[in-house]
Amino acid sequence: MSHFPPSSCTNTQEVISIKDAPFLLIEQVHYQYPAAIKKWNVRDISFSINQGNILGIVGESGSGKSTLLKIIYGLLSPEQGRVYLNGKALPLPEDTLIPGHREMKMVSQDFSDLNTYAKVWDNIASRLPNTDISFKESQTKKVMEQLRISHLAEKKVAELSGGEKQRVAIARALVDEPQILLMDEPFNQVDASFKELLRRDIKRIVDETGLTVIIVSHDPQEVLSLAQSILLLNKGAFEAKGSPRELYEAPPTPYVAKLLAKSNVLSSRQAQAFGIVTERDICIHREWVDCSIDEQGDFVVQDIYFRGFYSELLIHKDDIELHIVKHSNTPIPKIGQKLSVDILRFIEMQKG
């Protein structure tokens, strides 16, 4: 007997299905906001994700990431396209009593699902029915141990830090064992020192349970080491999808290069200054540039940004600006000094 309540779906229409479909398939979804709402529409987005994988959806603020997540979860009804789970179309919001799919849980960045004045244990345990008290207690205990928050059981949510609230929200979402976890900017309120630990815990839970995770983030650095694949959105439209390494080492567009690697993008005319003959834009990652102090050099140091174990230099020559990385164990030039520059590697853009 299942420990969990049945789905809230009340749709009596014939179920739409696709044979041999991937675990989760988003097919040509389109959502248009009213003209008065100044947001980018989601336009004809299609992608899939295999069970037990982590997908990062990345884009600049306002690029449609959260809208797409709400469509997947069933909070927004697309004007066209559908979301399929195991080959079956998921019901639309208008076809359910309670929006959202039983097979999924979503953790928002504002923790709005948490009862601020209730204890951590009660926030998590309340997601489970009272039909089996023994299971309810053991399941709550298990998920709290997975998220390393057992010591917070008797604390009220109002007493917690942002990072602790995030862990409670994730535990609350996972306690009734969804197939898919959707996370909207999960690292926004987590201190830098705890981000890596939270990433490791999410990865471990995925490996142990086969959970499928979709993470929305405006900062690709938060998902590069976590996700098996990354989907990039640009003004509501599909820009690129691939593994983090593929997209970082061979970005197909300037948008991808700048967002994932903070790369330098030069026009074909500017590339000629380095002896590079091409008809396309090129991208040069910050670490693909070598420089040395040279009073006869063509470039001048415009600014220096200390980043800890490395410094980022902003250098310029005429209308060309380059951001480059200099590790702290190498000589760091001063602002105003001249440099000679060598391009170690570059990539021609597939499209502009």
User: So what's the pLDDT on residue 167?
Assistant: 93
234-253 pLDDT, tens per residue?
999 999 999 999 999 999 99
111-136 pLDDT, tens per residue?
888 999 999 999 999 999 999 999 99
Strands (E), 155-257: 180-184, 212-217, 229-234, 237-242
33-78 pLDDT, tens per residue?
887 677 778 999 999 999 999 999 999 988 999 999 999 999 999 9
Total count of domains within the chain:
2
Indicate the residue type of 239: E
Range of the domain at 218: 51-70+102-253
User: So what's the pLDDT on residue 345?
Assistant: 95
298-343 pLDDT, tens per residue?
999 999 999 999 999 999 999 999 999 999 888 899 999 999 999 9
What single-letter DSSP state applies at residue 330? S
Q: Does residue 125 sit in the same domain as residue 236?
A: yes
Rounded CA-CA distance 136/129 in Å is 7
pTM: 0.89
43 occurs within a structural domain: no
66 occurs within a structural domain: yes
Final residue in a domain of this structure, among 219, 253, 287: 253
- With a pLDDT cut of 70, the percent of the chain lying above it is 95
34 occurs within a structural domain: no
Final residue in a domain of this structure, among 253, 284, 315: 253
Q: Does residue 109 sit in the same domain as residue 148?
A: yes
User: So what's the pLDDT on residue 70?
Assistant: 95
Q: Does residue 151 sit in the same domain as residue 281?
A: no
Q: Does residue 204 sit in the same domain as residue 233?
A: yes
3 occurs within a structural domain: no
Q: Does residue 241 sit in the same domain as residue 106?
A: yes
Per the prediction, the chain carries an average pLDDT of 91
Q: Does residue 311 sit in the same domain as residue 232?
A: no
Averaged pLDDT, 208-223: 93
Shortest CA distance to 26 belongs to which of 2, 11, 46, 6? 46
pLDDT higher than 60, residue 1: no
- With a pLDDT cut of 90, the percent of the chain lying above it is 78
pLDDT tier at 188 (50, 70, 90 boundaries)? confident
pLDDT higher than 90, residue 296: yes
pLDDT higher than 60, residue 9: no
Q: Which residue has the tokens 């097979």?
A: 103
pLDDT tier at 4 (50, 70, 90 boundaries)? very low
User: So what's the pLDDT on residue 14?
Assistant: 58
Question: What are φ and ψ of residue 120, in 5° steps?
Answer: -60, -45
What single-letter DSSP state applies at residue 280? S
